[in-house]
Amino acid sequence: MLKTNILIFLLISSLFAKTEIINIGIYHKSKITSFVFHPVNGAYSVFTEKGKLINIDNGEVIEVKYSNNNIQIKSLDKDYGSFKKVRFIGIESENSFKIKIPIYKKVREYEDNLLVNLHNYYDYFQLINNIDIDNYVAGVVESEVGRNPPPEYFKLQAIICRTYALKNIDRHTAEGFSLCNKVHCQAYHGKPKSVLIKEAALETNGIVIVDSDIDLITATFYSNCGGQTANSEEVWRQELYYLRTTKDTFCLNENNAVWTKKISKTEWTKYLKKHNCSEDALNHECGTEYFQIGREQFYHKDGVKIPFVKIRQDFKLKSAQFDVIEAGQQVILKGKGFGHGVGLCQEGAMRMAKLGYSYIDILHYYYEDVHMVNLESLAFFKADF
């Protein structure tokens, strides 16, 4: 029995060791057929399916082009040939590179390694940033929240982003990488410019958030809750004990606390009729108006019951928390917050950090009865000794 437990422990430890380096699909869904690779820090070895091709440093550039279902490699003065796979592997202690793509004006810098594949069934490249997870987390934090929040908030966001990444590590396995650079995985625009963000990712190295069963939590976050967070089942089907509604006064005066949208009364009544609202109900005084008491799950009036998250989706609204006010031939949707409202309210958390709350206090304010553990400890506890 002891041998079995030790084996389980080693297997779990091995699993988490593998996640120290992860594969991120960058420029996901973009049809890239050429780019220029330029080392910024360190040096790179270029490998193909035929073995090592060349070494390059920050004084050199490599042009990569799609040509007849091959990857063509050129320097300024030499054509190295065509290949099926190309790997740019950093060989110094710290390595970063820039990619210049003709169809994009902005040049982005990435850390660690770049894998170039031929995209299955299509005549363009698949670009994968093979990167240390802390470097990736730092890039995500800056992409998601910018460089203005205080350092304490950066630590919290780093832990959340690391947890989210590892929880969803297999999201794009079928495509040959772990996560993409889009918002539905986590926004990722490459190497951060902020030293403070980099330090926050390194200082929280290996720390993740787990629930009472020692499983990684669903670490959701969004911009602003408008004064009250939502229960998970109000937005998605799954009820999670640590994603419970809570009053949040910290975000009320922040940038995304309130919003309005005007739509025609005709469009709104047509929408209600589509959801079985009767003509009589609509003709009553204030028949098209609705006022939420707190954060409600449904627009429930005169026999009509529509999830507010559906209305948000149908009208492309900033949040699902809003009142409906008649204004002549228009209705005004007067809303609160920005985002789905489940989990961490970023603007509220930033305000808490500015007021001196620790990242631990902020974490427990938005996620109920969760624990922060190191990945090594997680492997140990999951082994169930």
Does residue 12 lie within any of the structural domains?
no
Beta carbons of 363 and 352 less than 8 angstroms apart = no
- Tallying the residues shown for the chain, one arrives at 385
Does residue 136 lie within any of the structural domains?
yes
What local confidence, expressed as pLDDT, does residue 3 receive?
Answer: 46
Residues 347 and 204 both lie in one domain: yes
Residues 190 and 330 both lie in one domain: no
Does residue 11 lie within any of the structural domains?
no
Segment 71-83, tens digit of pLDDT = 999 999 999 999 9
Beta carbons of 371 and 209 less than 8 angstroms apart = yes
Does residue 14 lie within any of the structural domains?
no
Does residue 48 lie within any of the structural domains?
yes
Burial class from Cβ neighbours inside 10 Å (0-12, 13-18, 19+) for residue 295 reads: buried
Residues 80 and 157 both lie in one domain: no
Does residue 297 lie within any of the structural domains?
yes
Residues 75 and 95 both lie in one domain: yes
* Domain end position, chosen among 71, 100, 131: 131
Distance CA 39, CA 24 (A): 19
What local confidence, expressed as pLDDT, does residue 15 receive?
Answer: 46
Structure-block tokens of residue 371: 């624990």
Segment 229-257, tens digit of pLDDT = 999 999 998 999 999 999 999 999 999 99
What local confidence, expressed as pLDDT, does residue 276 receive?
Answer: 82
89 has which bridge partners?
45
Q: How confident is the model at residue 285 (pLDDT cuts 50, 70, 90)?
A: low
Residue 169 has pLDDT above 70, yes or no: yes
Residues 120 and 156 both lie in one domain: no
* Domain end position, chosen among 83, 101, 131: 131
CB count, 10 Å around CB of 166?
Answer: 19
Residues sharing a CB contact under 8 Å with residue 334, sequence separation 6 or more, in sequence order: 258, 260, 322, 323, 324, 325
Residues 160 and 232 both lie in one domain: yes
Does residue 16 lie within any of the structural domains?
no
Distance CA 316, CA 298 (A): 17
Q: What angle do CA 220, 224, 229 make, to 5 degrees?
A: 65
Residue 287 has pLDDT above 80, yes or no: no
Q: 3-state DSSP call for residue 110?
A: strand
Segment 290-317, tens digit of pLDDT = 999 989 999 998 888 899 999 999 999 9
Task: Using alpha carbons, select from 141, 146, 189 the residue that is nearest to residue 162.
Answer: 141
Beta strands (DSSP E) in 119-159 are 125-132
Residues 73 and 166 both lie in one domain: no
**Mean pLDDT to the nearest integer, 32-37:** 95
Task: Using alpha carbons, select from 181, 35, 169, 20 the residue that is nearest to residue 102.
Answer: 35
Does residue 3 lie within any of the structural domains?
no
Distances (CA, A) of 197 to 135, 137, 147, 203: 10, 9, 8, 10
Going edge to edge, which strands form the sheet with 258-264?
258-264, 330-336, 322-327
Residue 12 has pLDDT above 60, yes or no: no
Q: 3-state DSSP call for residue 34?
A: strand
**Mean pLDDT to the nearest integer, 358-375:** 95
For the four alpha carbons of 269, 275, 277 and 278, in that order, the dihedral sign comes to positive
What local confidence, expressed as pLDDT, does residue 286 receive?
Answer: 66
**Mean pLDDT to the nearest integer, 368-374:** 95
Segment 251-275, tens digit of pLDDT = 999 999 999 999 999 999 899 888 8
* Domain end position, chosen among 131, 152, 184: 131
Residue-averaged pLDDT of the chain? 90
Q: 3-state DSSP call for residue 165?
A: helix
What local confidence, expressed as pLDDT, does residue 201 receive?
Answer: 95
Residue 13 has pLDDT above 80, yes or no: no
Residues 145 and 241 both lie in one domain: yes
Segment 111-165, tens digit of pLDDT = 999 999 998 766 889 999 999 999 999 999 999 999 989 999 999 999 999 999 9
Q: How many Cα neighbours within 13 Å face the side chain of 88?
A: 31
Q: How confident is the model at residue 280 (pLDDT cuts 50, 70, 90)?
A: confident
Model's pTM, two decimal places? 0.86
Residues 251 and 365 both lie in one domain: yes
Task: Using alpha carbons, select from 95, 4, 81 the residue that is nearest to residue 42.
Answer: 95
What local confidence, expressed as pLDDT, does residue 84 receive?
Answer: 93
Segment 321-349, tens digit of pLDDT = 999 999 989 999 999 999 999 999 999 99
Task: Using alpha carbons, select from 144, 159, 145 the residue that is nearest to residue 200.
Answer: 159
Between 179 and 8, the higher pLDDT residue: 179
What local confidence, expressed as pLDDT, does residue 119 receive?
Answer: 80
The structural domain count of the chain equals 3
Where in the sequence is the domain holding 192, given as residue range(s)? 132-255+341-385
Q: What angle do CA 300, 301, 304 make, to 5 degrees?
A: 75
Beta carbons of 261 and 335 less than 8 angstroms apart = yes
DSSP 296-354: -SEEEETTEEEEHHHHHHHHT-S-S-EEEEEETTEEEEEEE-BS---SEEHHHHHHHHH
